Amino acid sequence: MNQMLILLVEDNPDDVELTIRGFKKNNFSNEIVIARDGQEALDFLYGTGDFEGRDSTRQPTLVLLDINLPRIGGLEVLRRMRADDRTRRVPVVLLTSSKEDSDIKAGYDLGANSYVRKPVDFVQFTEAVRQLNLYWLLLNEPVPSIG
């Protein structure tokens, strides 16, 4: 079985570091690719830009997507993912500090699988990462690869 791939789309270096530390603390050894803005995330998903030539048939097992991103916002990334056959079934967890009702509604309307508000405390954040991993990478049955 191939190692699971997680795409972390996050522009805040502190949150990237906390997420990676949370993964390591919980002994999850999955491959993590970091995209620091929405355009970089789309380039990774579709093998364009800096990721030209990447095998875009290998899609992430899980995308952890911030909403407030430079260049292209997280909700627009989600909209494009759901509009494309290659990525429409990839589980997307919006992992964001926004607690705006409009963001929550928009995220679910666009097809987010889950909306998780980032805890500020490291211990809480680590626990949130552990639970995300436990559910999405161990319990949830991913869509089978085709082709």
Whether 144 is covered by a domain: the verdict is no
Whether 146 is covered by a domain: the verdict is no
The residue among 70, 68, 128, 122 whose CA lies nearest residue 100 is: 68
What pLDDT was estimated at residue 79?
97
Block mean pLDDT (10 aa), the chain, length 147: 82 88 75 95 96 90 93 97 95 87 93 83 74 71 62
What pLDDT was estimated at residue 75?
96
What pLDDT was estimated at residue 51?
94
The residue among 113, 145, 124 whose CA lies nearest residue 4 is: 145
Per the structure, the count of domains in the chain is 1
Q: Is the pTM of this model over 0.75?
A: yes
Whether 147 is covered by a domain: the verdict is no
The residue among 56, 63, 47, 48 whose CA lies nearest residue 7 is: 63
What pLDDT was estimated at residue 22?
77
What pLDDT was estimated at residue 99?
81
**Domain coverage including residue 37:** 5-139
What pLDDT was estimated at residue 146?
52
Q: What is the CATH number of the domain that holds 66?
A: 3.40.50.2300
What pLDDT was estimated at residue 124?
77
Q: What share of the chain is helix, strand, coil (3-state, %, to 5)?
A: 40, 15, 40
What pLDDT was estimated at residue 9?
97
Contacts of 3 (CB under 8 A, 6+ apart): 29, 30, 31
The two structure tokens encoding residue 83? 């509009």
CA distance 121 to 45: 31
